[in-house]
Amino acid sequence: MIRDITIGQYYPSNSVLHRLDPRVKLIGTFIFIVSLFMFNTLYGYIVVALFLGAVIKLSKVPFRFIARGMKAIVVLMLFMMFFNLFFTPGNTIFELWIIKVTDNGLRQAVFMGIRLIFLILGSSLMTFTTTPNQLTDGLEKIMRPLNHIKVPVHEISMMMSIALRFIPILLEETDKIMKAQMARGADFESGGVLKRAKSLIPLLVPLFVSAFRRANDLAMAMEARCYRGGDGRTKMKPLRYQGKDYAAYACVLVYFAAVIALGIFGDQLF
C-alpha cells in the first residue's frame, strides 16, 4: 500500500516534456506555483486547469498514475480544508452548536483545496518527467552563482539526487518491515493517535538502522568510483538549451501573463 505513493518518482517515457531541458521545467514549475496565487476568480481556475491538462497530455504520463500519488496527500488536504471551512469569518450560512460554516469559509475551503491539488499535480509532473539526475543537474546549474557566496551547490544537488534515488527503495523496505512486524503481531491500525504513533517505533528503528547502513555502503561505493566532489567532474549529459526549450519558455510566459491579466481584470471581464 505504501508503494502507491508516486510523488517524486520518475515515469520513463519519451515525450516532448521528458526531453525538455530540466532548467526549463524547474523554472516553469516555479512560475506555475507562483501563478496559482495570483488570481481569485473562477476563470483563473479554468485557465490553470486547461494549461495543466494540456501539459499532462503532452507528458504522456497516464493520469491514473498521477492520481495514485494524490491519495497520499488527501489527509493533508482535508486538514487544510477543515481549517478553512470552520475558521474563516464571514456570513454564517449554517450553524450547529459551536460549529459555524460561513460563505467565505466554504469558498476558501473549496478553492484552497483545488489550489493544493493543482500545486501537487504541477510539481509532481516535473518529477515524473525529469530523472533525479537531470533535476539536480538543472538545479546545480541554476544555482551555480551561489557558489560565489560559499554555498556548496554541487554537494547539495548530489545529496538531493541520492535522496530521490532511495525514496522507492526505502518505501519498499518500510513495506517489508511493516509486514515482518505484522507477522509478529504488531498492530499499526487500531487504537488512538498516541497508540498508533507508539506502534510506529518498531517500524522506524529498523528503517533508520538500515538507512544508515545503506548510506555507509553507498559512500564507500561512490569513493571506490573515484567520487571526490564537484571539482574536475565532467558531465555525461551536459545541459544546453535548444529550440524547443526556448519555445517552452515562451509558452510558460504566455500562460503566466494570461493568469496575471485574469487576476487584475478578471472581475470586470464578465
Partner 1 sequence: MEMIKVKDLSFEYIRRDEDGNVESINKAIDSISLEVNKGDFIAVLGANGSGKSTLAKHINAILYPTEGGVWVNGLNTAEDRNLWEIRQTAGMVFQNPDNQIIATVVEEDVGFGPENLGVPTEEIWERVEQSLEAVGMLEFRNSSPNKLSGGQKQRVAIAGIMAMKPQCIVLDEPTAMLDPNGRKEVIATVRELNRRENVTVILITHHMDEVIHADKVFVMERGRVMMEGTPREIFSRVDEIKKYRLDVPQVTELAYELKKAGVDLPDGILTVEELVEAIKRIKSR
Residues in touch with partner 1 (CB under 8 A): 10, 12, 131-133, 161-162, 164-165, 168-169, 214, 217-218, 220-228, 232-238
Smaller CB separation from partner 1, 172 or 187? 172
Smaller CB separation from partner 1, 91 or 234? 234
Beta bridge partners of 100: 95
Smaller CB separation from partner 1, 193 or 236? 236
Q: What is the smallest separation between the CB atom of 217 and partner 1, expressed in angstroms?
A: 4
Q: Which amino acid is at 240?
A: R
Cα 76 to the chain's mean position, in Å? Answer: 13
Nearest by Cα to 45 from 266, 270, 269, 217:
266
Instruction: Name every residue whose Cβ is closer than 8 Å to that of residue 69 and which is 6 or more positions away in sequence.
Output: 4, 5, 6, 7, 9, 120, 124
Q: What is the smallest separation between the CB atom of 164 and partner 1, expressed in angstroms?
A: 7
Q: Which helix (H) or strand (E) holds 98?
A: none
Q: What is the smallest separation between the CB atom of 161 and partner 1, expressed in angstroms?
A: 8
State the Rg of the chain over Cα.
22
Length of the chain (residues) = 270
Smaller CB separation from partner 1, 17 or 85? 17
Burial profile 165-196: b = 16 or more Cβ within 10 angstroms, e = fewer: ebeeeebebbeebbeebeeeebeeeeeeeeee
Smaller CB separation from partner 1, 192 or 238? 238
Q: How far apart are CA 53 and CA 104, in angstroms?
A: 28
Instruction: Name every residue whose Cβ is closer than 8 Å to that of residue 163 and which is 6 or more positions away in sequence.
Output: none
Smaller CB separation from partner 1, 108 or 136? 136
Q: What is the smallest separation between the CB atom of 109 and partner 1, expressed in angstroms?
A: 37
Q: What is the smallest separation between the CB atom of 104 and partner 1, expressed in angstroms?
A: 45
Instruction: Name every residue whose Cβ is closer than 8 Å to that of residue 77 and which is 6 or more positions away in sequence.
Output: 113, 116, 117
Locate the DSSP E strands across the chain.
Answer: 92-96, 99-102
Q: What is the smallest separation between the CB atom of 67 and partner 1, expressed in angstroms?
A: 21
Q: What is the smallest separation between the CB atom of 258 and partner 1, expressed in angstroms?
A: 35
Smaller CB separation from partner 1, 57 or 235? 235
